[in-house]
Chains A and B, each alone.
Chain A
Amino acid sequence: MSRLEARFSQLKATGKKALIPFITAGDPLPDITVDLMQDLVSAGADIIELGVPFSDPMADGPVIQRASERALEHHVSLRDVMQMVSRFRELDNETPVVLMGYLNPIEIMGYQTFAAQAAEAGVDGILVVDLPPEEGAELLAAMKGRGLDQIYLIAPTSTPERIKTICDAAGGFVYYVSVKGVTGASHLDLQAVESKLRDIRAVTHLPVGVGFGIKDAQTAAAVSRLADAVVVGSALVSRVEALAEEPEKIGRALEEVIASMRKAMDEA
């Protein structure tokens, strides 16, 4: 059983929902990423989503784009990110780690090389924002060959046929983007989310996560009533940004956000 499967079935058994924080690897300093990952876990995170910095993050809002820029000032590469996962694995062999990023850094490394190195490092899955299943067969095969999951986004604009296509290719969990827009957007409409989750669950048994626009504990709790997992990104990354000049304070700040969300979700 993969780490992702194990984690979701463990949560199910205890009646809890997964809390999935996102941070960008190397933001604001490459040296503190592994510590931050551990802080997130100790505050109640179930799965870590680790952003791979990219120069042109087209699907991200300004907060996560600036996180990429801060990491790239230190030339954090996909190889560096996998090394961070490796170091995290020496300390934590249970919490699943999903890399989230764009195709080009993977493309230039080569799909087979990437899949081999990711598996070796202890990565559990990847979410490639700009790779729809239609273009993704080759990478998917390389990933599957190493026992890694490919996580796909489903959007408010996805038709029932597309939801089916996506769920057929997906592994680990599927990720519903709760708003039309980029990461960090607002206006999350719970009713619309609920109805879309019904469509998704009609075609897949995979756990369904919801993200984009989850800013506080209250929203996290509300979404956790509907979904199997809650993904929170910009709300954390904006804390990182605010403390970029005092990096020693970041871990504590992220712990506070995650702990409050954890508490609200568990009481929901």
Chain B
Amino acid sequence: MSTTAEKIIGTLPDAQGHFGPYGGLFVSETLMEPLQELRAAYERYMQDEDFLRELDEDLANYVGRPSPIYHARRWSEQLGGAQIYLKREDLNHTGAHKVNNTIGQALLARRMGKTRIIAETGAGQHGVATATVAARLGLECVVYMGAVDIARQEANVYRMRLLGAEVRAVSSGSKTLKDALNEAMRDWVTNVDNTFYIIGTVAGPHPYPAMVRDFQAVIGREAREQMQHQTGRLPDALVACVGGGSNAIGLFYPFLDDQDVKIYGVEAAGNGVDTGLHAAPLCAGKPGVLHGNRTYLMEDTDGQIIETHSISAGLDYPGVGPEHAWLKDSGRAKYVAVTDDEALEAFHDLTRIEGIIPALESSHALAYAKKLAPGMKRDQAVLINLSGRGDKDMHTVAAREGIEI
């Protein structure tokens, strides 16, 4: 029975930012004090009614929350099993869940008197969401992006520049998200007095994993109420894609104590987990320390971080949020992986059957739901986090299919 299980919500992380053996604070000394200041400000303002009111108003009137829950009836019918529901984070301002967090952190930055915002971005969604709130609050904004990602996400680069952000190309290492993160950390360490670093996912040193989770948990709080209102009960299963894992933890967190709700996080298997060309640290990696926290990583036997492969730039990251690592080990959530091909197939299914073009990241969650639902009963419900819209992926999908646009 769920009532006898131990409560998880509110217990993690501990005061030092640990989720069991994961998380923590693994940074150079220069950042220890700024992180302590951030933590103090965060803890203070999350109890501050004025701050929370400002945040709620922005989420309602600027982002457009609450995002709806949509019952995908035709797709459910075709799959012939559980009913599929979509949490429509794709309908948020800027087209993805990322803005829930950037609004929260930018408001916090302003309260802390910081005048300059920096961020890292992979696919560009977090960069766009950061540039957006920086524009609105009149803050200087610098976004670090790997040179490889800049080439494959030109539209988002242009979008960020339109919004007034400076996009700095990172040409070190694999020239992707992890390198952008390294570079943003270097900027922060150098300009720590006036600069706030908005991390886009539930990774990094404490308090980022907890703070980003708390800003994203609005997804799960809304969904939990909406499902009860629309279907009269909680869903039987939750499914979300996991790169760093912010949309997933945002959905999962408010359900963690509902032991009857099964939780599935879906990683990017790229060409297939057994090919080695993937981005699935929870399914095929080992624990290690990177970017300020201990978590599962894609690494070689010498402890060097290895390059990841995924059709989706937003999942192309060798680590994962430490809370996911803990949820995996504890058994509360199950982590699986789907390939590029499976994600693409689900991308087309949702587009053609429901008239919704999903982001390639979210398509990984859809692809796993497609495997899960047929084995469930028709009166059961699967709730998928549709974390973003697919407009940004038109070029990638077209190119994959040999079409030039």
Contacts and interface: CB of A to CB of B under 8 A. Distances in A.
Interface string A52-69: 011111110110011001
B26 A132 contact: yes
A177 B148 CA distance: 33
B191, B290, B299, most chain A CB atoms within 10 A: B290
Contacts of A216: none
Interface string B163-191: 00000000011000011001001100111
B299 A108 contact: yes
B28 A130 contact: yes
Interface in A88-112: 102-109
Interface stretch (A43-51, A147-155, A245-253): A147-155
A144 interface: no
Q: Is the interface of B mostly helix, strand, loop or mixed?
A: mixed
A140 interface: no
B304 interface: yes
Contact of A78 (B33, B179, B289, B302): B302
A58 B302 contact: no
Contact of B30 (A75, A131, A156): A156
A140 to B, nearest CB: 14
A253 to B, nearest CB: 24
A10 interface: no
Contact of B28 (A54, A109, A155, A166): A155
A132 B27 contact: yes
Interface residues of A, number: 46
Contacts of A107: 287-289, 294, 303
Contacts of B279: none
A78 B302 CA distance: 7
A81 B33 CA distance: 32
B25 A132 contact: yes
Nearest to A130: B26
Enumerate the 8 nearest inter-chain pairs by beta-carbon distance, A residue then B residue, closest first.
Answer: A105-B303, A108-B303, A155-B30, A77-B302, A181-B190, A59-B28, A157-B33, A55-B304
Contacts of B289: 102-104, 107, 130
A162 interface: yes
B292 interface: yes
Given A56-B291, A65-B173, 18 more contacts: A56-B290, A58-B186, A59-B185, A65-B172, A69-B173, A104-B297, A107-B288, A108-B286, A131-B26, A132-B32, A134-B25, A153-B29, A153-B30, A157-B192, A159-B33, A162-B32, A180-B192, A185-B190
Contact of B302 (A75, A135, A155, A181): A75
Interface size class of B (residues with CB under 8 A): 35 or more
B275 interface: no
Interface in B111-152: none
Contacts of B178: 56
Given A72-B304, A130-B27, A153-B28, A61 B186 contact: yes
Contact of A58 (B185, B303, B306): B185
Contacts of A193: none
Contacts of A62: 172
B133 to A, nearest CB: 25
